[in-house]
Amino acid sequence: MTANIFHRIAAVIIVLWLGFGLAACANFVKGGDNRHNIPLAPAMVKALYDMGSSPAEGMVVRIFKREQQLEVWKRTSSGQYKVFKTYEICSYSGDLGPKYREGDYQSPEGFYTITPGLMNPKSNYYLAFNTGFPNKFDRANGRSGSNLMVHGDCKSVGCYAMTDAGIAEIYALARESFKGGNPSFQVQIFPFRMTTASLTQNASNQHLNFWRNIKEGYDYFDLTKTPPAWDVCEQRYIFNPTASGLDAMGPCPATYQNAEVEARKVADASALANVAAGIERQAANEVALKERSQAVSGFFSGIGNMITGTQQQQQATAEVATPAQ
């Protein structure tokens, strides 16, 4: 009797234990996989604290196409952001330049705001977050596309593909930032590291005006180490505007000026003007060289014609002077 009671109690305990275990899985596991809940490695947590940050602090992601790098920046106790880790991008689609339309296999460029709703723990590419393309700028310029992600699996069709290990860390950093009370994080996507030199190297590119526009946001973050507020007006990005809720097609308000950013804009304009002047000089020199070449060719052609004419005249004279046989 005692043994039966013991066995019944043991069976109840086992059932309760299994029930608790299953409940815990139901609370934390989606799609039969717990990869989106894997904690940050202790070494990463320590590294965050060592730099004056924490998993709960805000973050910014910067992507550079040409260099194939993704940077994660974290807010520190100073209020400024520091780069925490740089990841290699396995693959992205298309060329340097923004995305225009669905199916062009082009990876986007610009400024995007990532909220918890854009995180995808059930991605077929291990883990992912949606960039939010098309954003306000993209829509104002008639651009189309969907499901433009940063994901794992090292394969890309219009997305930015990371290794599975890389996206696992990036996803976990974003998750902890959201848990810390941050409603979003900013993703800044550039064709290359936007120095004045790299801009002038691409002075003849069709995307130059767009790149000069987003470089204003790049420069602000680069100089202040804080992400710029951005909006869209006149179909272009505006950074740190004095008003919010702008009409994407309407006039732009004033912006909060930063002297260092403005100095970079002046330097960029001057360097690009020098490049344009150099291109004009080269074009003018090529035209002048072509004209000189044509003149020289015409001169020698004229001399040749004169010689030929003289020879023909001499021959005709000789034929007239020679008596018929």
Q: How far apart are the first and last CA of the chain?
A: 155
- Residues serving a catalytic function are 151, 159
Write the DSSP symbol of residue 231. E
Report how far apart, in Å, the C-alpha atoms of 196 and of each of 27, 100, 271 are: 51, 25, 7
Q: How far apart are CA 310 and CA 316, in angstroms?
A: 10
Find how far residue 208's CA is from the centre of its chain.
14
Q: List C-alpha distances in Å: 9 to 20, 21, 179.
A: 16, 18, 40
Taking alpha carbons only, the member of 200, 106, 88 closest to residue 156 is 106
Q: How far is CA 138 from the centre of its chain?
A: 14
AA identity, residue 111: F
